[in-house]
Chain A
Amino acid sequence: MTEIKFVLGITFLLLLLTTFVIVFVFFYQKRFYLLKKEKQELVAKYAQLLLQSKIEIQEQTLQHVGQELHDNLGQVASLIKINLNTLQLEDTAATIEKIESTKGLTRQLIADIKSLSVSLGSDRVKQAGLVKAIEVEVERLNKTRQFIVTCQVGTAIPEIDTDKATILFRMAQEILNNAVKHSKAKHISISINNSNKLFILAFEDDGIGFNTEDNRQNAGAGLRNLSSRANLIEAQLRIQSLPGNGTRATIELLL
């Protein structure tokens, strides 16, 4: 009788033990599965954002190319055509002058086409690197003659992972676009620095500024995009601004 009680007791204990093991394995694996799913979703989100950034960069480039073709290349080509149409062969001196001017215009046209073709590269951040891509963007903005944009690049800027660089470049474009569209700034300065493995990309303008608190509450799509992009590459985004005092945006990325 005692023996049977002992067997029953031990069997019951084993039942509890096996139940514990099974439940433990089950919940451990379930937790792991959920974490893995979460990670997969994050990776998919990252890939989607990367793709979106690339598409937006391309859109921006095409817009820029269209504008360049219309405002610059088209104008220069028209000037060349006018020069050639108005050539007066009997007036040798004037003809020589016009031909020289046409030569100059053609050189300018070729140079502009070359610079445009550089910006048309399908993945210019990947090809030229983040710093160069930002410098091209600065050049483009300066060409509009509506702003004075300066770019100060610190020493020993390290290579940044291409995907992160693409997202950083898109963020830079977004910040510059916001400054161009809303800030009414005359001067925009950009600084690119590296300090203790911390990559710092800062933008400052002398525009009308805004109340960051109001803006945070009614954050527009642009600011939300900037924040989500910064989160995804684990960068810190800080926007400091006051009405009438310009805006300063800083992106810090730990390398």
Chain B
Amino acid sequence: MDTLPPLVLILIAAGKKELRSSLIFYFLVLQCVLNMYANLLTIPNTNNLYIYHYNCLFSFFILSLFYIRLFNTPNTKRIIFGAALLFTLLFLIDTIYLEPMDQFNSNSFCLAAFILCGYSLYYFMRIFKNPTGTHISMSRDFWFNTGIFSYYTINFFIFITYNKLTIEKSPLLIYIWQLHNTIFLIMCIYFYVGIQCKTND
């Protein structure tokens, strides 16, 4: 459920020249590859949680770059760079001292989700302040941002508690992750709508 939707989107986006260099395209490739690898690791019952450390870090970097391009002002560029630097530092501290590679990195995911929610809300706020001349439903960036906003906001509490639940080996853990995957699917649906749009603004 977390591999097939991005794969389908990659195949669709690959057919559109302007999307092949898009950061969302790279994000989908990353998700597809890492999720597929994580799923493969579960077959011999190997711990795959270290994959999510990479997933969290690289996804955050790609999406930060996406927002740098989206906002495109020197100030936001500085803020996003600063936030990425701070995030990297906290990510390292978290991985070294709090949640090692064999555990789910709840703290890092939460922090990433919090920052990315901030960026996506700022995008919405910009729409309020300076509404675009084109209809929003035609805007690729709107749908991409909506996908990111939905995924990171709705999953926030799942990210917060997931490490604790894995340590406790909760029997309902699989349902929680299924719920996460459903929200991931919702993000992919929003991305699909965005990919079908013709304009960025």
* CB of B64 closer than 8 Å to a CB of A: no
Q: Is A51 an interface residue (CB 8 A)?
A: no
Q: How far is the CB of A31 from chain B (nearest CB, A)?
A: 9
- Bound-state CA distance A28–B176 (Å) is 34
Contacts of A1 in B (CB 8 A): 172
Shortest Cβ distance from residue A55 to the other chain B in the assembled complex, whole angstroms: 30
Is A36's CB under 8 angstroms from B133's CB? yes
Q: How far is the CA of A33 from the CA of B137 in the complex (A)?
A: 11
Which one of B5-13, B36-44, B97-105, B152-160 is at the interface?
B152-160
Most buried by A among B132, B135, B176: B135
Chain B nearest CB, measured from A63 CB (Å):
42
Min Cβ gap A20→B in Å is: 11
- Of chain A, the residue at the smallest CB distance from B153 is A18
Known: A4-B172, A7-B158, A7-B176. A29 touches B149 (CB 8 A): no
Instruction: Provide the main secondary structure of the chain A interface.
Output: helix
The listed residue (A3, A10, A21, A26) touching B165 by CB distance below 8 A is: A3
Q: A28 is contacted by which of B128, B134, B153 (Cβ under 8 Å)? A: B128
Decide yes or no whether B196 CB sits under 8 A from chain A.
no
The verdict on B166 contacting chain A, using a C-beta distance below 8 Å, is: no
Known contacts A4-B170, A4-B172; is-contact A33 B131 (Cβ 8 Å): yes
B-chain residues with CB within 8 Å of residue A3 when the two chains form the complex: 161, 164-165, 170
Q: Are A11 and B150 in contact (CB under 8 A)?
A: no
**A50 to B171 Cα, complex, angstroms:** 75
Return the CB mask of A1-34 against B: 1 if under 8 Å, else 0. Answer: 1011001101100110110011001101110110
Q: Shortest CB–CB separation between residue A4 and chain B, in angstroms? A: 5
Q: Judging by beta carbons under 8 Å apart, are B155 and A11 in contact?
A: yes
Q: Does B124 contact A (CB under 8 A)?
A: yes
CA distance A182 to B71 in the complex (A): 64
Instruction: Please report the total number of B residues contacting A with Cβ < 8 Å.
Output: 30
- Chain B, Cβ-Cβ closest to A19: B150
A179 → B minimal CB distance (Å): 45
> Which residues of chain B are within 8 angstroms of A30 by Cβ–Cβ distance?
135-137
For residue B14, CB closer than 8 A to chain A, the reply is no
Q: Which residues of A contact B127 (CB under 8 A)?
A: 25, 28-29
- Is B146 part of the contact surface with A, judged by Cβ < 8 Å? yes
Contact B136 A25 (CB under 8 A): yes
Name B12-65 residues within 8 Å CB distance of A.
Answer: none
- Residue B1 at the chain A interface, CB threshold 8 Å: no
Give CA–CA (A7, B164) in the complex, Å.
12
Asked if A21 and B179 make an inter-chain contact with CB atoms under 8 angstroms apart, the answer reads: no
- Say how far A37's CB is from chain B's closest CB, in angstroms: 9
- In the complex, A1 Cα to B176 Cα: how many Å? 11
Q: Which of A25, A26, A28, A30 has the most CB of B within 10 A?
A: A25
CB distance from A217 to the nearest CB of B (A): 40
Q: In the docked arrangement, what's the CA distance between A239 and B196, Å?
A: 55
Cβ contacts under 8 Å, B133 to chain A = 33, 36
Q: Which residues of B contact A10 (CB under 8 A)?
A: 157
Q: Which residue of A lies closest to B173 (CB)?
A: A4
Minimum C-beta distance from A8 to chain B (A) = 7
State in angstroms the CA–CA spacing of A10 and B133 once bound together: 36
A-B contact pairs, 19 of them (CB 8 A): A3-B161, A4-B176, A11-B183, A14-B154, A14-B156, A15-B183, A17-B153, A18-B150, A22-B149, A26-B136, A26-B137, A28-B128, A28-B131, A29-B136, A29-B142, A30-B135, A33-B131, A33-B132, A33-B134
7 tightest CB-CB pairs across the interface, nearest first?
Answer: A29-B136, A32-B131, A10-B157, A14-B154, A4-B172, A18-B153, A25-B124
Known contacts A3-B164, A4-B172; can you find 11 more A-B pairs with CB under 8 A?
A3-B161, A3-B165, A4-B175, A8-B176, A11-B183, A21-B121, A25-B136, A28-B131, A29-B131, A29-B135, A33-B136
**Which residues of A are interface residues toward B (Cβ below 8 A)?**
1, 3-4, 7-8, 10-11, 14-15, 17-18, 21-22, 25-26, 28-30, 32-33, 36
